[in-house]
Amino acid sequence: DGGITQSPKYLFRKEGQNVTLSCEQNLNHDAMYWYRQDPGQGLRLIYYSQIVNDFQKGDIAEGYSVSREKKESFPLTVTSAQKNPTAFYLCASSGTSGSWNTQYFGPGTRLTVL
Amino acid sequence: RKEVEQDPGPFNVPEGATVAFNCTYSNSASQSFFWYRQDCRKEPKLLMSVYSSGNEDGRFTAQLNRASQYISLLIRDSKLSDSATYLCVVNEDGNQFYFGTGTSLTVIP
């Protein structure tokens, strides 16, 4: 089955620790995205990547880092510099040809800082 | 200024009712438009794309008004299973997608 997988589903972190969230897609999409969603709020863009070995900051990149070494993988690291990391993290991918590219989402990772 | 704005609701409607959501966007050069559905504690899922000519999928109808910069979603004959948050999404340049905060719908038996 084609799709996007994220792991883990739930993640607990102690303050001061870095954690890495996994995102893998087998849709052969060039573009991948990381969003953060807080309760009762919309999605906010953290980072996105249009092509391997290249990525851009979104609206709330501070305290996060990413890499794009492979087309199918776009891991997100939440660093200790992120002051309020507890949230629902969503990874998405899309094609890049044409103007009607559609985003597809993974099931998300819920991160809780203890 | 928000790129995409939606009425957050909540909309509480009885089964069988017709309900409509609107969404406005700020960039007149926006290229593509979508409605997503998000269930509680789940990821957003594509409901339908919104084409200039309008499009229909069963009980759902989406329309785009470029002159007024808004898109709409009409749900006819509401079902209990339609209860969810509906997200309006706009793609401005083929790269970034901009999301509204969502409109909450509860269909009541």
Q: Residue A40's pLDDT band (boundaries 50, 70, 90)?
A: confident
CA atoms within 13 A on the CB side of A107: 7
Cα(B91)–Cα(A102) distance, rounded to whole angstroms?
9
For residue A8, which amino acid is it?
P
The DSSP H or E segment spanning B72 is: strand B70-75
A1 exposure class (CB count in 10 Å sphere: 0-12, 13-18, 19+): exposed
**How many percent of chain A have pLDDT more than 70?**
95
Residues 68-107 in B contacting A (C-alpha not used; CB under 8 Å):
87, 89, 91, 94-97, 99-102
Pick from B70, B104, B71: which is nearest to B86 by CA?
B104
Q: How far is Cα B50 from Cα B35, in angstroms, rounded to an integer?
A: 7
Question: In chain A, which residues touch B (CB < 8 A)?
Answer: 31, 33, 35, 41-43, 45, 48, 50, 58, 88, 90, 92, 94, 96, 98-108, 110
- Residue A15 and residue A111: Cα distance in Å, rounded? 12
Nearest to A42 among B46, B91, B99 (CB): B99
Cis peptide before A85 (omega within 30 of 0): no
* Nearest-Cα residue of chain A relative to residue B41: A88
Q: How confident is the model at residue B84 (pLDDT cuts 50, 70, 90)?
A: very high
Q: What Rg do the C-alpha atoms of chain A give, in angstroms?
A: 13
pLDDT 10s digits, B25-45: 999 988 899 999 999 999 999
pLDDT exceeds 80 at position B69:
yes
CA distance B85 to B91: 19
Q: Which two tokens stand for residue A113?
A: 């800082």
Examine the pLDDT at A97 and tell me if it is beyond 80: no
